[in-house]
Amino acid sequence: MKPPPTTDSPTEWLSPQAGYMLLALMEATEAANRGEVPIGAVVSDAQGRILAQGGNQTRSDLDPTAHAEVVVLRQAARRRGDHRLLDTQLHVTLQPCPMCLEALRQARVTTVVYAGQRLWEHSPLPPCSLQQEKASEEVAVGLLSQFFQQKRA
């Protein structure tokens, strides 16, 4: 039988996976108390250290990209001093949306664990108009090509 916890912190006697999700749920509760959509997230490294934790901040920051996943990715990247979060995992209270999934992919997060599954497949928001300005394409592509050629040289 497992001994009783010796601390007031419930995460100390839970498995690491359950502990991370509990912290994410606590962040979701705090987000709800601030009037935000109740989603929380935690990023941890391969050694089990928590790099970042937080909840949605879209309303308080007036930032439509401030989903919990993006908030903690930014914090973890600053803490690590690197935009690549190799060998990390993210625990989040709801299955990430397409924007957050792409951010997680760009950050190279290794594993994503989520609690709740989205009940909708596509965003209920109306689509925006996506237009390519062909006249600027050559300049934009040239800038990108030059940048990466210099990086790889």
Q: Would you say 43 and 73 are in contact if contact means Cβ atoms under 8 Å apart?
A: yes
For the question of residue 69 being annotated catalytic, the response is: yes
Instruction: Give every CB contact of residue 91 below 8 A, 6+ residues apart in sequence.
Output: 17, 20, 21, 23, 24, 41, 42, 44, 113, 114
Report strand pairing: 111-116 vs 50-55.
unpaired
Helix or strand run (H / E) with residue 72: helix 68-80
Cα 109 to the center of its chain, rounded Å? 9
**Catalytic residue among 27, 69, 102, 133, which?**
69
In Å, what is the CA distance from 21 to each residue of 73, 76, 92, 144?
16, 17, 7, 39
Cα separation, 149 vs 147, whole angstroms: 6
Active site residues: 69
